[in-house]
């Protein structure tokens, strides 16, 4: 997928609309839904809902406030100022500064990306978790993030390689996922990684689910043996209903 798209679920649509409702007054719910659909590149809200029918997520353009405001003006809200009703996810967010998403696709970034995508895909295939908020189905999981307990699971990677991953839910309906490639023994706990003596590589990331479905930007959280990194980086692993890069929230 390109940097200009991301994936939304029905829950993400509700949360994006709720966010917009706090930033504008006097717009009925139905009109706000139509404007949100336009912000996401659809002619109507019905078309957006139809695209999601039978699917957990759908790939759409990142939200555009310009399209959203233009649609509201078409619906008769001519005095509507140039508002920022929805986040456009063009950068990451922290209390200290906002910084643009990395455009770099280095060997290191691709190694981190591929190890994370393999672990997330395996968790989805094993129905341990889903891409909507509260889809925490693993043993010890709970719809309420604060009640979840960490779970460890196995990941199969091509060429006979395996990995062990752990998943837990944190605030904001995000998932925290750690993964260790080719662990040295059965007792390795991925979120307590003790260095490359535990395995050939380790990666960690947070998966956003409240406002969309993506792996939060943060490829620096990665360590890998030098001889393994080129092999890991060249793997072709497609995501399954989520983006491999998106805004980081702190």
Q: Note the pLDDT tens digit of each residue in 161-198.
A: 999 999 999 988 999 999 999 999 888 999 888 888 89
* Residue 249, both tokens: 């929230």
Q: Is 177 among the domain residues?
A: yes
Q: Is 93 among the domain residues?
A: no
The string over 164-188, giving b where at least 16 C-beta atoms fall within 10 Å of a residue's C-beta and e elsewhere, is bbbbbbeeebbbbbbbbbbbeeeeb
Q: What is the pLDDT of residue 41?
A: 95
Read out DSSP for 58-83?
EEEEPP-HHHHHHHHHHTT-TT----
Residues 9 and 68 occupy one common structural domain: yes
Q: Is 91 among the domain residues?
A: no
Residues 114 and 185 occupy one common structural domain: yes
pLDDT digits (tens, 9 = 90+) for 208-230: 999 999 999 876 789 999 999 99
From 55, 75, 95, give the residue that closes a domain.
75
Nearest alpha-carbon partner for 6 in 41, 30, 31, 35: 41
The domain in which residue 70 lies consists of: 5-75
Contact 162, 190 (CB under 8 A): no
From 24, 53, 75, give the residue that closes a domain.
75
State the pTM of this model. Answer: 0.92
From 20, 54, 75, give the residue that closes a domain.
75
pLDDT at 234 over 70: yes
Q: Is 90 among the domain residues?
A: no
Contact 85, 20 (CB under 8 A): yes
Q: Is 80 among the domain residues?
A: no
Q: What is the pLDDT of residue 159?
A: 86
Q: Is 243 among the domain residues?
A: no
Q: Considering the chain, what is the average pLDDT of its residues?
A: 91
Q: Is 101 among the domain residues?
A: no
Q: ∠ CA 212-215-220 to the nearest 5 degrees?
A: 150
Please count the structural domains in the chain: 2
């Amino acid at each position: 997928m390109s940097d200009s798209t991301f994936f939304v679920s029905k829950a993400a649509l509700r949360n994006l609309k709720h966010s917009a409702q706090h930033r504008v007054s006097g717009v009925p719910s139905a009109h706000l839904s139509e404007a949100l659909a336009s912000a996401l590149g659809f002619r109507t809200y019905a078309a957006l809902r139809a695209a999601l029918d039978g699917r957990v997520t759908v790939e759409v353009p990142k939200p555009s406030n310009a399209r959203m405001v233009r649609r509201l003006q078409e619906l008769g809200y001519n005095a509507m100022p140039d508002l920022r009703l929805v986040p456009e996810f063009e950068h990451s967010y922290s209390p200290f500064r906002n910084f643009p998403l990395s455009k770099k696709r280095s060997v290191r970034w691709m190694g981190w990306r591929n190890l994370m995508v393999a672990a997330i895909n395996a968790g989805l295939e094993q129905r341990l978790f889903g891409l909507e908020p509260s889809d925490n189905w693993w043993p010890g999981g709970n719809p309420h993030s604060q009640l979840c307990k960490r779970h460890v699971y196995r990941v199969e990677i091509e060429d006979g390689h395996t990995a062990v991953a752990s998943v837990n839910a944190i605030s904001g309906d995000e998932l925290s996922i750690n993964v260790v490639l080719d662990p040295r023994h059965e007792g390795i706990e991925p979120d307590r990684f003790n260095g490359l003596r535990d395995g050939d590589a380790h990666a960690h990331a947070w998966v956003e689910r409240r406002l969309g479905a993506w792996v939060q930007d943060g490829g620096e959280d990665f360590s890998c043996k030098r001889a393994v990194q080129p092999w890991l980086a060249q793997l072709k692993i497609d995501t399954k209903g989520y983006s491999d890069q998106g805004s980081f929230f702190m």
